[in-house]
Amino acid sequence: MPDFASRDPLMPAFWDERFERQFTPWDRGSAPAALRAFVAQSPESLTTAGRPPAVLLPGCGSAYELALMLDAGWDATAIDFSPVAVARAKALAGRHAGHIVQADFFTYTPHKPLDLVYEQAFLCAMPRARWPEVAERWARLLAPGGLLAGYFFFDDVPKGPPFGIERAQLDALLAPHFDCIADDPVADSIPVFAGKEHWMVWRRR
The yes or no reply on residue 15 touching ligand SAM (CB under 6 A) is yes
Q: Cα separation of 10 and 155, whole Å?
A: 20
Site for ligand SAM in 23-42 (CB under 6 A): 26-27
Nearest approach in angstroms of CB 118 to ligand SAM is 9
Q: Are 66 and 60 in contact (CB under 8 A)?
A: yes
Looking at beta carbons only, is 65 or 115 nearer to ligand SAM? 65
Nearest approach in angstroms of CB 131 to ligand SAM is 12
Count the alpha carbons within 13 Å of 177 in the hemisphere toward its beta carbon: 20
The yes or no reply on residue 121 touching ligand SAM (CB under 6 A) is yes
Nearest approach in angstroms of CB 77 to ligand SAM is 12
Looking at beta carbons only, is 31 or 172 nearer to ligand SAM? 31
Query: If phi over 0 gives left and psi between -120 and 50 gives alpha, with beta otherwise, what is residue 21?
Result: alpha
Cβ neighbours around 51 below 10 Å, total: 10
* Site size with ligand SAM, rule: CB under 6 A: 20
Tell which one of 74, 96, 99, 122 touches ligand SAM (CB under 6 A). Answer: 122
* DSSP string for residues in 95-129: GGGGGEEE--TTT---SS-EEEEEEESSGGGS-GG
Tell which one of 125, 142, 186, 200 touches ligand SAM (CB under 6 A). Answer: 125
Nearest-10 Cα torsion for 94, 22, 161, 102 = -30
* E-only strand ranges, the chain: 54-58, 75-80, 100-102, 114-120, 142-153, 178-185, 197-204
Looking at beta carbons only, is 23 or 51 nearer to ligand SAM? 23
Instruction: Give the x/- contact pattern for ligand SAM in 58-87, rule: CB under 6 A.
Output: xxxxx----------------xxxx--x--
Nearest approach in angstroms of CB 44 to ligand SAM is 26
Tell which one of 38, 105, 131, 202 touches ligand SAM (CB under 6 A). Answer: 105
Q: Cα separation of 77 and 58, whole Å?
A: 9
Tell which one of 4, 106, 127, 179 touches ligand SAM (CB under 6 A). Answer: 106
Cβ neighbours around 32 below 10 Å, total: 24
Which residues contact ligand SAM (rule: CB under 6 A)?
Answer: 15, 26-27, 58-62, 79-82, 85, 104-106, 120-122, 125
